[in-house]
Amino acid sequence: MIWQFDILLLTLVVVCGFVSLWIKDLMGAVIVFGAYSFLMCLVWTGMGAVDVAFTEAAVGAGVSTIFFIATVFHTSRTIRYNKWDLSTKFFSSIICILMGFFLMVAIGDFPAWGDALSPVNNNVAKYYLENSMEETKVPNVVTSVLADYRAFDTMFETGVVFVASLVIFTLLLQSDGRKKLMKSAFQKVSFLNVSESLIIRKACGLMVPFMQLFALYVVVHGHYSPGGGFQGGVILGASLILLSMAYDIKKVFARFHMKFMIKSLAVGVLIFAGIGLICLILGGNFLDYSALSKLFPSMGSIKSRYNAMLWVEVGVALTVMSGMFAIYTSLSSNGKFEEGL
Amino acid sequence: MADQFLVLIVLFPLFVGLLIPIIAYFNKSVVWPLAILSLIGSFWAVFNTATQLLKLDPSSSISYYLGNWMAPFGIEYVVDRFNIMVLFAIICVSLLTTIFAKQVIEKELGDNAANFYSLFLLFITGLLGITITGDAFNLYVLLEIASLTSYGLIALGRGRALVATFNYLIMGSMGACFYLLGVGYLFIKTGTLNMDQLYDVLPLLFDSKAVLVGFVFIILGMWVKMAFFPLHSWLPNAYSLAPTAAACLMAPLMTKVSVYVMIRFMLNVFSTEYVYSVLTINNIIVIMSSIAIIAGSIYALSQKNLKKMLTFIIVAEIGYMVGGVWTGHVDGIRGAIYHITADAFMTLCLFMAVGCIVYRVGNDKLESLKGIFKKMPITMICFLVGGFSVIGIPPTCGFFSKWYLISGAFNSGAWYFIIALIISSLINAVLFFRIIEIGFFGAMSNEKPDYKSLQSIKFNEVPINMWLPLVIVSMILIILGIYTNEIMTNFILNIVPMM
Amino acid sequence: MFEYLITNYNYMVVVFLMMMGLWAMIAKKNLVKKCIGLVIFQTGIILFYISMGAKNNSTIPIIDPKYGEAAINYANPLTQILMLTAIVVGVATLGVGLMLVQRIYKEYGSINEDRILEKFK
C-alpha cells in the first residue's frame, strides 16, 4: 500500500469515469470505461485485494466491456437526439450534491485509511486470518471464507449468474429463433465463409488452449494463490468468447451447444447446493463440509472441508463460464445466435 | 432432521427452481406440479418451525448456523415471532398464486413458461431468504436475487413492459446500492455484519455520524425498493404491465418484504431507543407518509385501468405502514406489522381477481366490466371482500390494522396521519363502489343502464383452480380479521418492546 | 491538512464516484450512459469496502510462514469476499440492463429516453 500510487491512480480513475460519462460517442465512452475498470483493478491490487482485482480485470475490464460493445454495436453509436433538459439536470445535481455532502461529513468519523487497528480489521476478519489455517488448511483466506465460512453467500451469488443468464436468454430469444436454434444442434458448419482474416483465426486457435489451461489452473489452485472458481470461470468463458469472435457463434455451438449451456448453468449451482444437501443428509448443517467425513472416513473433517471447497469452486466455475458465454452470445448476436461481433 | 427446518424453507424452492430448466427439456407437463410440490414442502417446513417456535418462550428465537460456523463468523438464520408471520404470508401467497397461475401462464407466456416457473421459484427463494436471514450482507445478495428475477418476470409482460423494467432496474439497483452503502457505513464502525451483534455493538456508537448515515441510507434503499411516495415512479407501470402471474406474486410480496426489512433494521438492529429518541425525525416521516397516502389514493382515483388503479392503492398502503412505524407509538408499530401480513393477502386477493377478469374478459379497462357480476359472480364477490378490506370494513382484517394505526397516531398526536387515513378510506370506498356500480348495473355514472345487453351476459366463471385460491384468500382476509386478537397476543405483542 | 487528505483521499474519491454514477443514472437520457452510471456507482461502493479493509505494511491475505501468523500482517479478507460477490452481482445486473437496452432499441428504434417516451404518445 503506497499512498503516492494510490492518489495518482485514483485521480486517473475519476478522470476516466468523468470522460466516459461526458463523451458523446458511445463506443469511445465504452472504451474509456474499460480503461476505468482496469485502473480500478490496479488500485485494488495496491491495497492487497488481489482476488478482487483479478475478478475485476476479468469481469469489469474484460467481459463487461465486451457486453457494452455488443450493445452499442447492435443499437446506435452516437447520441443524436439531445434535447437540453435543464430542469432534470439541475434537480438531479442538487440531489447528488446534497447527498455527497451528507456522505462527506461522515468521513471525518472513519478510522484512517490503512489503520490496522480499526474495527473492520479486528472483529471478524481477524478470526478468519488466525483460524483459517487450522480449521480448513487453506492458506488463501479469501478462498476459505468464500467457499466455507460464507459459502451460503457464494451459492446465491452463483445463483445470481444463473438467473441473469436465464433472464437474458429467455428475453432476447424470439419464439421462431428458438425452434431454429434447437433444430440446429450439431449440424456441420462450413468454416469457409467466415469474414475474419486468417491471421486472427490462427492466432486465436493457438491462444485458446493455453487460456483454458491457465483457467483450469486458476480454478484448482485457488487454495494456494489468488484465484478460484469465479476468476477461472470468467477466463474459461473469455476463451469461448474469443473463439466465437474469431470464427462465429455457430462454430462454437458445434462444440458447446446452447442446450448444454443452459443445463451446465444449472448444473454448476446444483453441484454447489448438492454438496450442501449431502452434508445436510449426512447429519450436519447445510454446507457443513465436515459432515462429509462420514462418507469418506479416511479424510477427517478438516481434509473433507478442504476437498469439498475444491468441488464447490468447480461448480462455481462451470456456472460462471456458461453464464458469461450465454450472456455474450445473447447480447452479441442480438438473440439470433448466428454471427456475433 | 428436526433442527434443519429453517434451511429447508429456502432449499425446496431453490432446488426445484434450478432443476426446472433441466426437467423442462424432457417433460414440460411436470413443471407445474413440481413447483407446487416444492412450495408445499416449504410450507411444511415453515409450519414445523412455527410449532417449534410456539413451544418456546415468547421473546426467544430459533437460530440456524449455515456451515455450522458460529454467528459472527458464518451466516445465521433466525426465526422469531415477527418473521414467522411474514414467512407464513410469503409461502401462502406464493402457493396460492402458483395454483392459480397455471392457465394464465400458459396463455400469456407459451414457450417461455418453463423458464418463467424457474424464475418464479427463485424469486420466492429470494424473498424467503431475505425474511429469514440474520446477516446484513446475505440480505443484500438475496435482495439482488429477488430483484433480478423480478426484472425478468416483469420484462416478459406486454407492451411497454420493457421500458418499465428498465426504469425498475435502474431504480432497483439504486436502492440495493444504497442499502449496501449503508451497511458499509455500519460495517466500518463495527466490523461485523451479523444483525444480533450489530444490535449489541451499536448502542456505544449512537453519537457517531457514520452510523447515522448508515441508518439513513439503509432506510432510503428500502424506501426505493418499497416504492415509498416520492420514489414510487417505477412501481405502477412495472406491476400493471407484468404478466398476471408475476404481478399476483410481486405486488403483494416485494413491497411488503422491503417494509419488513425496514422494520427489522429499526427494531432489531438499531433499537427503538436510537430510532425514536436519538433521532428526532419521526414527525417529518409521518408527514411524508401522510402525503404518500393521499397522493396514492388520488392517483388511484384518476385511473381508468383496473390494474393501474390497484398499483396506486399499493403506493398508498406503503404510506400506511411507513407512517405507522414512524409514529413511534407501540400501537402504530403493531398496526404496521399486522398490516404487512394483512396487506399481502388483500393485494393478492385484488390482483388475483383482476387476473381472473383479464383471463375471461381480455382487458382490464373499467368500462369493460359491465355486467361482470352476472358473468363471474364468484370472482367479483371475492374482489369485493378484498375491496372491503382495503376500505377497512369490519370484519375484514383491513379494519383492524387501520384501527391500530389510528390508535398509534392518536396516542402520538399525529393528527395529520389520522386525516390521511380517513381520506384514503373514503377514496377507496368511492373506487370500489364505482366498480360495483359498473359491474352490477352495467353503467358508468353518467350513462343510462342498458338492461338488454345485461340480460344477454351468461355465467362464465374461470376454471376451478383459479377461483378456488381466490375464495381461499378472501376467507383468509375474514379469518385474519376475526382472529386479530389472537395474532396480536401470540405474535406481535412480544416483538415490539414497550417504550 | 495534508495528513487528513492522505488518510481520507480514498473515501473522498468514493463519494465523488458514487455521486457521479448516481447523477448519470438520474440525469442522463441515453440508456447506455445510464448503465455506465450504474456500474460507476457500484465500483464506487466496491472501492469503499476495499479501502476500509486495507492495512499499512501488510501483504495479500494468503497465509505464508514467511510473514508469520499474526493477523496484522495480512490485508482484510472479509471485505474482499463481500466485494467479489458484489462484482459478480454487478455484472449480472449490467447484463440484464444491456439486454433490455437491445430489446428496447429493437422495438422502438431508439435508446434515448425522451424519444421513446415520444413514441408512446
**ipTM of predicted assembly, 2 dp:** 0.95
For residues B162-173, average pLDDT = 91
Cβ contact C104–B177 (<8 Å): no
In this complex, the residue of A48, A71, A157 whose CB is nearest that of residue C102 is: A71
Contact A313/C at CB under 8 A: no
CA distance C106 to chain B (A): 11
Share of chain C above pLDDT 70, in %: 100
pLDDT tens per residue, range C17-55: 999 999 999 888 889 999 999 999 999 999 999 988 888
Cβ contact C71–A330 (<8 Å): no
For residues B403-423, average pLDDT = 89
Residue B13 in grid coordinates = 424452492
pLDDT tens per residue, range B176-218: 999 999 999 999 988 889 998 899 888 888 888 889 999 999 9
Cβ contact A49–C83 (<8 Å): yes
Residue B461 in grid coordinates = 366463471
| Band of pLDDT at residue B413, cut at 50, 70 and 90 | confident
User: Which residues is B17 bridged to in the sheet?
Assistant: none
- pLDDT of B147 reads 92
Q: Which among C42, C52, C116, C117 is the top mutation candidate for probing chain A, defined by the most A β-carbons within 10 Å of its own β-carbon?
A: C52
Q: Is the pLDDT of residue B443 over 60?
A: no
Cβ contact A146–C81 (<8 Å): yes
Question: In C1-121, which ranges are continuous DSSP H helix?
Answer: 2-27, 31-52, 77-108, 113-120
* Distance (Å, whole) CA B362 – CA A151: 47
Residue B201 in grid coordinates = 455493538
| Band of pLDDT at residue C57, cut at 50, 70 and 90 | confident
* Distance (Å, whole) CA C66 – CA C74: 12
Task: Phi first, then psi: give them for residue B85, nearest 5 degrees.
Answer: -65, -45
Contacts of A107 in chain C (CB under 8 A): 8, 11-12, 15
Cβ contact A162–B18 (<8 Å): yes
B302 in Cβ contact with B239 (< 8 Å) = no
Chain A from 172 to 231: CB within 8 A of any C CB: 172, 224-226, 230
- Provide the residue type at A291 as one letter: A
Question: In A83-188, which ranges are continuous DSSP H helix?
Answer: 86-107, 119-122, 124-136, 141-144, 151-172, 175-183
Nearest partner of A83 among C113, B220, C74, B297, judged by Cα: C113
- pLDDT of A196 reads 61
For residues B224-235, average pLDDT = 88
Q: CB-based contacts of A327: which residues, under 8 Å, 6+ apart?
A: A67, A164, A165, A168, C95, C99
* Distance (Å, whole) CA B315 – CA B311: 7
Query: Mean pLDDT across chain B, nearest whole number?
Result: 87
In this complex, the residue of B73, B118, B141 whose CB is nearest that of residue A166 is: B118
Nearest partner of B158 among B319, B307, B333, judged by Cα: B307
* Distance (Å, whole) CA A156 – CA B145: 7
Contact A157/B at CB under 8 A: yes
Lowest-pLDDT range, A328-337, B132-141, B391-400? A328-337
Cβ contact A156–B74 (<8 Å): no
What is the chain B residue with the closest CA to A164? B148
Share of chain B above pLDDT 70, in %: 96
Cβ contact B138–A118 (<8 Å): no
3 state SS of A9: helix
DSSP-derived secondary structure for B346-380: HHHHHHHHHHHHHHHHS--BGGGGTTHHHH-HHHH
B141: exposed, middle or buried (Cβ count in 10 Å: 0-12, 13-18, 19+): buried
Could you give the domains of chain C? 2-120 (1.10.287.3510)
- pLDDT of A303 reads 86
Question: Measured between alpha carbons, how far is residue A333 from residues A26, A173, C94 in Å?
Answer: 19, 10, 17
Share of chain B above pLDDT 90, in %: 33
CA distance A46 to chain B (A): 20
Chain A from 13 to 42: CB within 8 A of any B CB: none
CA distance C100 to chain B (A): 6
Residue B216 in grid coordinates = 439513513
B286 in Cβ contact with B417 (< 8 Å) = yes
Task: Phi first, then psi: give them for residue B57, nearest 5 degrees.
Answer: -60, 140
Q: DSSP class of residue A81?
A: -
3 state SS of B459: coil
C114 in Cβ contact with A85 (< 8 Å) = yes
* Distance (Å, whole) CA A116 – CA A84: 49
Select the more confidently predicted residue: A189 or C100.
C100
Q: DSSP class of residue A293?
A: G
Contact B216/A at CB under 8 A: yes
Low-confidence ranges of chain A (pLDDT < 50): 185-193
Select the more confidently predicted residue: A12 or C73.
A12
For residues B357-363, average pLDDT = 81
Cβ contact C30–A97 (<8 Å): no
pLDDT tens per residue, range A107-160: 888 888 888 888 888 888 888 888 888 888 888 888 888 888 888 999 999 999
In this complex, the residue of C10, C15, C33 whose CB is nearest that of residue A10 is: C10
Extents of the domains making up chain A: 123-341
Place of cell 411524508: B288
* Distance (Å, whole) CA A35 – CA B150: 32
CA distance B116 to chain A (A): 9
B219 in Cβ contact with C80 (< 8 Å) = no
Q: Which among B8, B18, B173 is the top mutation candidate for probing chain A, defined by the most A β-carbons within 10 Å of its own β-carbon?
A: B18
Chain A from 42 to 81: CB within 8 A of any C CB: 43-44, 47-52, 55-56, 59-60, 63-64, 67-68, 70-72, 74-76, 79-81
Q: How many CB pairs under 8 A join A and C?
A: 296
Contacts of A89 in chain C (CB under 8 A): 27
Cβ contact C93–B187 (<8 Å): no
The chains found to touch B (3+ Cβ pairs under 8 angstroms) are A, C
- Provide the residue type at B412 as one letter: S
A163 in Cβ contact with A324 (< 8 Å) = no
Nearest partner of A319 among A178, A160, A193, A184, judged by Cα: A160
C102 in Cβ contact with A74 (< 8 Å) = yes
Degrees, nearest 5: CA angle B5-B8-B11 = 170
Residue B308 in grid coordinates = 393501474
CA distance A212 to chain C (A): 20
* Distance (Å, whole) CA A298 – CA B498: 55
Cβ contact C102–A107 (<8 Å): no
- Return the H-helix or E-strand segment holding B62: strand B62-65
Cβ contact A142–C84 (<8 Å): yes
What is the chain A residue with the closest CA to B211? A106
CA distance B190 to chain C (A): 12
Contacts of A109 in chain B (CB under 8 A): 189, 208-210
- pLDDT of A82 reads 63
| Band of pLDDT at residue B125, cut at 50, 70 and 90 | very high
The chains found to touch A (3+ Cβ pairs under 8 angstroms) are B, C
pLDDT tens per residue, range B28-73: 888 899 999 999 999 999 999 999 888 888 888 888 898 888 878 8
Give the other-Cβ count within 10 Å of A213's Cβ: 11
Q: DSSP class of residue B231?
A: G
Q: Which among C49, C98, C112 is the top mutation candidate for probing chain B, defined by the most B β-carbons within 10 Å of its own β-carbon?
A: C49
B230: exposed, middle or buried (Cβ count in 10 Å: 0-12, 13-18, 19+): exposed
Chain C from 62 to 121: CB within 8 A of any A CB: 62-64, 69, 71-72, 74-85, 87-89, 91-96, 98-103, 105-106, 110-112, 114-115
Sign of the CA dihedral B262, B263, B269, B270?
A: positive
User: Which residues is B76 bridged to in the sheet?
Assistant: B65
SS (H, E, C) B276-321: HHHCCCHHHHHHHHHHHHHHHHHHHHCCCEHHHHHHHHHHHHHHHH
What is the chain B residue with the closest CA to C45? B181
Residue A93 in grid coordinates = 445535481
Nearest partner of C93 among C48, C41, C38, C50, judged by Cα: C38
Cβ contact B119–A163 (<8 Å): yes
Lowest-pLDDT range, A2-6, B179-183, B373-377, B381-385? B373-377
A83: exposed, middle or buried (Cβ count in 10 Å: 0-12, 13-18, 19+): exposed
Cβ contact A123–B191 (<8 Å): yes
Contact A152/C at CB under 8 A: no
pLDDT tens per residue, range B269-309: 888 888 888 877 888 899 999 999 999 999 998 888 888 88
- pLDDT of A185 reads 47
Cβ contact A163–B122 (<8 Å): yes
Q: Is the pLDDT of residue B228 over 80?
A: yes
In this complex, the residue of C35, C50, C112 whose CB is nearest that of residue A52 is: C50
In this complex, the residue of B169, B177, B193 whose CB is nearest that of residue C42 is: B177
A3: exposed, middle or buried (Cβ count in 10 Å: 0-12, 13-18, 19+): middle
Q: CB-based contacts of B44: which residues, under 8 Å, 6+ apart?
A: none
DSSP-derived secondary structure for B72-137: TTS-EEEE-HHHHHHHHHHHHHHHHHHHHHHHHHHHHHGGGHHHHHHHHHHHHHHHHHHHHB-BHH
B300 in Cβ contact with B431 (< 8 Å) = yes
- pLDDT of A190 reads 47
* Distance (Å, whole) CA A167 – CA B168: 15
B213 in Cβ contact with A106 (< 8 Å) = yes
pLDDT tens per residue, range A5-20: 888 898 999 999 999 9
- pLDDT of B312 reads 92
Does the bond joining B21 to the residue before it have cis omega, within 30 degrees of 0? no
